[in-house]
Amino acid sequence: MSGRTLLQFFHWYTPDGGKLWSEVAEKAHDLADMGITDVWLPPAYKGASGTSSIGYDTYDLFDLGEFDQKGSIATKYGDRTDLERATQSLSDVGVGVIHDVVFNHKMGADEKERVQVRRANPDNREEIEDEAFDASAYTRFTFPGRGGQYSQFIWDMKCFSGVDHIEDPNENGVFRLVNEYGNGEWNAEVDEEMGNFDYLMGSDVEFRNNAVYEELKYWGRWLPDQVRCNGFRLDAAKHIPAWFFRDWVRHVREAVDRELFVVAEYWHPDMDVLARYLDHVDQQLMLFDVALHHRFFDASKAGADFDLRTIFDGTLVAAIPDHAVTLVGNHDTQPLQAMEASVEPWFKPLAYALILLRENGVPCIFYPDLYGAHYSDTGDDGESHEVEMSRIDCLPRLIEARKRFANGPQTDLFDDPHCIAFIRHGTSDAPGCVTILSNGAEVWKQVDLGPDHAGAGFRDYLGHCEEEIFADDAGKLDLRVNGGSVSLWVRSETI
């Protein structure tokens, strides 16, 4: 039978109003019936922008919508009671809960401190001025609204490696804090973009401070004790030293559950970079297949000029399949985002078929593709833009098909630049299927399923082709796919 199927149950423009946790609870049963096995939730703790925070501006990891901080008790998604109800509802129907966590930085400090800093070149952070100078920085986090409940740890200048804003003098940039950690240098085992990509934004966490290290390990034990937790999505892994997540994941699994599912966001398309990172973390986690996402994006833009036989070239799922989480889009790639690379609507059904119905990879569904989304935001041109992301009509059917038909060994028929297919042969207990995709005109493709299927009738489970097609006495048949479309052929009696 098929394995995990994740759903990212939010997007960058999820509406305010504290309703998301309630929506999760309401839809839990339907998601389980559809075939979703795990739901990736947005960061559940208080962000610096309160009820407007998507969650990536981490303020207080221990405030799950329980304390009056940053202008509200609830987060953008609801209060702690709503969160508990949502995670329990998922657990009750056997759906795992994957929590998003942002350890890289903190924002919204409660107090300024006098610090010493050295300017770094924003375009090459290895270039740091020798001379340090005094300034004020927002580096002290006391969490007065929480009053020490759950944790009495106070974050101060010694807990951070850098900041992007100082006062007295008033400047923006990249500033390395002068403290006892790292001899004034950034962390190693981070991405080499911009010389050293340790620094990203806000008050950048100093993982070499043992007190910080122990506090984050404590939080990893604390959260699963508060709400249902079956795993984590780790944000901004390319900016965090690999040794930290190697140790942190091992520690949390030993303390909480050895079967915790962990996927890290290391947003890099180079397979050599990802392979090195997996080695650094002792192969303990999954990574998002960034290269495959960009192959989908390129294929959707090129149309019939793209050679579908190459769709998996250079991808994580092809090279290191046991560590690949495959996706068509996420909150960072949707329209009007800095990393916008939104797959064209016509190609999304094809892309989802390629991640949901094949043997390798753990597929991740994006909320707007399942439910749709409408939002507005300011684009790079400074103008306000309205964006409509329509739901993919056949996506629920594809998710159900993964549960029902994506079984048994796989045979690829990648023999045509404009039309590829693959067979899942099924098992003695579960049926298989044939998936056919075209990025050009309508195509008929001959498929040999063997004598076990002699004379059997087949129908397109997605309903894109209406006819019933019968195999000959040897189990061969010609199957159809419409132009620029995907069809999923299964034995008629299984529908």
Say which of 164, 235, 369, 460 is annotated catalytic. Answer: 235
Q: Is the dihedral of CA 265, 271, 277, 281 positive or negative?
A: positive
Q: Which of 218, 274, 280 is nearest to 251 (CA)?
A: 218
List CB contacts of 210: < 8 A, sequence separation 6 or more. Answer: none
Do residues 458 and 470 make contact, with C-beta atoms less than 8 angstroms apart? yes
269 beta partners: none
Q: Is 225 annotated as a binding residue?
A: no
- Phi, psi for residue 116 in degrees, rounded to 5: -110, 135
Q: Kindly state the tokens that stand for 483.
A: 């132009």
Do residues 93 and 112 make contact, with C-beta atoms less than 8 angstroms apart? no
Is 235 a catalytic site residue?
Answer: yes
DSSP state of 312: T
Do residues 44 and 55 make contact, with C-beta atoms less than 8 angstroms apart? yes
Q: Is 429 annotated as a binding residue?
A: no
Q: Kindly state the tokens that stand for 331.
A: 């909150």
**How many angstroms separate the CA atoms of 31 and 447, rounded?**
33
Which amino acid, 190? V
Is 127 a catalytic site residue?
Answer: no
Q: Is 204 annotated as a binding residue?
A: yes
CA 488 → CA 50, 377, 437, 444, 485, distances in Å? 45, 37, 9, 13, 10
Do residues 450 and 313 make contact, with C-beta atoms less than 8 angstroms apart? no
Say which of 57, 60, 265, 289 is annotated catalytic. Answer: 265
List CB contacts of 298: < 8 A, sequence separation 6 or more. Answer: 306
Residues belonging to the binding site for Ca(2+) are 104, 198, 204, 239
- Residues annotated in a binding site: 104, 198, 204, 239
Q: State the catalytic residues.
A: 235, 265
